[in-house]
Chains A and B, each alone.
Chain A
Amino acid sequence: MPHPQDFSGVIPVEFSSQIIEEAIQQSAVLQLGQRLPMGTTITDLPIPKTLPKAAWTGAPGGRKAWTDLMLETTSIHAEEVAAVTAIPDSYLEDSTINIWAWARPRLSEAIAVALDDAILFGLDAPPTFPQPSATGVGGLMHNDYSTPSRPLAPPTR
């Protein structure tokens, strides 16, 4: 019987890629959003501020119109999400099931739920994440069509 400190056979080496793949499957924002590798805690992103506009010159040799093409910078801050738990050594020693296979999807789900809650609904969101709007729920800057001008009524046909 291996010592409880020996987790070989319990935890595969490729744990990290497995967890993040499972977290992606369980998180809407990781599935649909654009994932951006960050090299530092704070990353500045240039985003377009204005769209260029072209105009007809009117005649051959006519003066070409000026247009603005501006960028602005937005910052993305990396925040830590974490969880701690504990497994009794007796489980590790005596278990007939693969503890890691059992725990891994739960840990992935915990991270996925924390991400979705924070980003989609602003629940326990870090201050650098999009915050809930003044009208309450919704961590994103979306329109609210839960109260549309035309109600979401069943169709007449």
Chain B
Amino acid sequence: MGQVEGQGLNVSGHAADLMVKASFRGVRDETGALLLGTEQAGTGQRNTLYGVPIAYNSWSTRNNNFLSGAWNNLLIGVRQDIRFAMDPNAVIADDAGKVIISGFQDNTTPMKVWARFGCVVIKPVTVRTPLGAKPFARALLSQFGATGGEGNEVVTTKRGAAKE
């Protein structure tokens, strides 16, 4: 978080692999408050970390498992909502053109799902970085153990150790 804030940007959220939850579970800051929290979002609740939303998902990579940033600088263009089509006479072929499934011949119904998205990351100009800030930071947090530091900040990471 400190790296993003050092660029002059407010951190608006975190994204983390689902296994990162184990690193934060039971961890408290210097005031004894749990790092993990929840906040009201409409009719439901969402997870927070240091007071900003965090999204946990099961990622396919293990190289980085925690991202912080000013997510309003990540623009996801939605050109077309997700659509699908099912056709019992459709044919599915591989890259070489070889027919894998013939709906008519195999008594199978192929289903196709598709959507169109765009993406761009803005390097916003800030007072601190007039040439364009880097809006995101990443880390590889350990799955287990007491690693709870991030950036240049240090947090108390004793599991379940409530401060009296």
Contacts and interface: CB of A to CB of B under 8 A. Distances in A.
A36 B77 contact: yes
Nearest to B53: A32
Contacts, number: 250
Interface residues of B, number: 77
B43 to A, nearest CB: 14
Contact of B57 (A27, A47, A111, A149): A27
B136 interface: yes
Nearest to B89: A5
B61 to A, nearest CB: 5
Give the interface size bracket for A toward B.
35 or more
A30 B71 CA distance: 10
A36 B78 CA distance: 6
Contacts of B103: 86
A63 interface: no
A30 B76 contact: yes
B146 interface: yes
Interface string A84-122: 111111101000000000010001101111011111110
A51 B148 CA distance: 36
B63 interface: yes
Contact of B12 (A32, A35, A74, A154): A32
Contact of B74 (A7, A92, A140): A140
A34 B71 contact: yes
B146 to A, nearest CB: 4
A19 to B, nearest CB: 4
